[in-house]
Amino acid sequence: MKLFNKSENDDVEDRYYGLKKKFITGIAAFGGIICIVGAIDIIGLRSQKQNSAASYVGEAGHDSGAYETTAEPSNVVNDFGGWYYNQLTENEQESYAQLYEQLSANTNTTSDYSDKIIRAVQYDNPLLYESSPDCEEALQRIIVDTNNMIDTYSKIKYLYDEIVNEASFDNSSEGNISALLNGSSSSYGFAATFKYLCSKTGLNAIIVDGSYSGNQHFWNLVEVEDTWYAVDCSLGRINFDELTDTFFTGYDYFLVDDSIIFTTHTADYYDYGWKYPGCTNGFYEYYRTNNLRFSEFSNAADYIVEEIQNGNTFITMAFTDDISYNEALYEIEVARDSKFWAYISYKTSIEYTSRYYTHNDDTRRISLYITS
């Protein structure tokens, strides 16, 4: 793409915003016919997704809402217990204690215990089920690195980034901490590693056993300043189809609330009636915290220009609503040779040789990788 002279540049910018205005005006006119029906359909679809998550858990004995908000059970009770231990009956707690002691002494026979007891012990104490004795040593560096971190957010983000960088998500892989350290794990390995690292760095975290895209799936809840947030490390990588050996860290499910996590996730896979704290505050959601969730595409375009001018080739952002998100998709995806890209080239004075994009409709996130 050739660079424009000044008069041509002014024309490109005017034509870009003129085209955008005409495009939006056309959409608005057309939308006058279908906006009511479309809005109802969109809202209804999102409502159905969230309600399906809530009813799935509700059928397991919960009150309304995807998680049941409870002050109890406590996350820390004794040397061997935890979140799941406190939800067991007295007889089940006795079995839990026996299994814990046997696992600690490497003398367990798990066939003597129900699946519910085995899972309760495992989710509270993931390291007990690791076959490799090197897990603790391998993770010690990460634990030590958090010693000088004062605020909880920075500590959690560091743990998340390290785990995402450590392994790729593969649902066919074995799921445990050892598998994750070997570079590939199912979702349980990610959730177990995050839970273990949190417990070693003074953070309260829970493993959640649920489903994602129709498959059994694990993620975490973590407490920040007396408020719970959802974290899914296994979905933390952003990949571009054209770049098979390249990934970037994404934050679609990092410290999010129920309205985001339950668009795609459901809890309590085995219907054991597990109770979880509600995630009702989106204050630390990544795109919100970093001012990267836009309500207008024009602001996102300015952000893209700023990032390119700062030398960044990977750019990620999210949008507050379907209208701004779909407009961004149109400009970036459908009209790849539109005036928008000419405008970006003009503003940055860079001729691009390659540009890639990927997006997540559920979280309204768009990511770009641009090279010159």
Q: Average pLDDT in the 281-296 region? A: 95
Q: Which pLDDT tens digit goes with each residue over 22-48?
A: 444 444 444 443 333 343 343 343 333
* 319, β-bridge pairs: 294
**Coil, helix or strand for 268?**
coil
C-alpha span between 235 and 154 (Å, rounded): 19
How far are the Cα atoms of 319, 358, 365 from residue 237, in angstroms, in the given order?
A: 19, 12, 13
Residues 112, 239: Cα–Cα separation, whole Å: 43
Listed residue (238, 166, 228) closest to 197, CA to CA: 166
Please state whether beta strands 293-294 and 314-319 pair in parallel, antiparallel, or not at all (unpaired).
Answer: parallel
Preceding amide of 73 cis, omega within 30: yes
Strands (E), 250-337: 254-256, 265-267, 293-294, 314-319
pTM for the full predicted model: 0.78
- Rounded CA-CA distance 167/229 in Å is 23
Q: What does the block give as tokens for 216? A: 């059994």
Say yes or no to pLDDT of 73 above 60. Answer: no
pLDDT at site 25: 44
For the cut 70, the answer to whether the pLDDT of residue 8 exceeds it is no
Distances (CA, A) of 347 to 190, 239, 264, 268, 306: 41, 27, 38, 50, 9
Give pLDDT tens digits for 158-209: 999 999 998 889 877 777 888 888 888 899 999 999 999 999 999 999 999 9
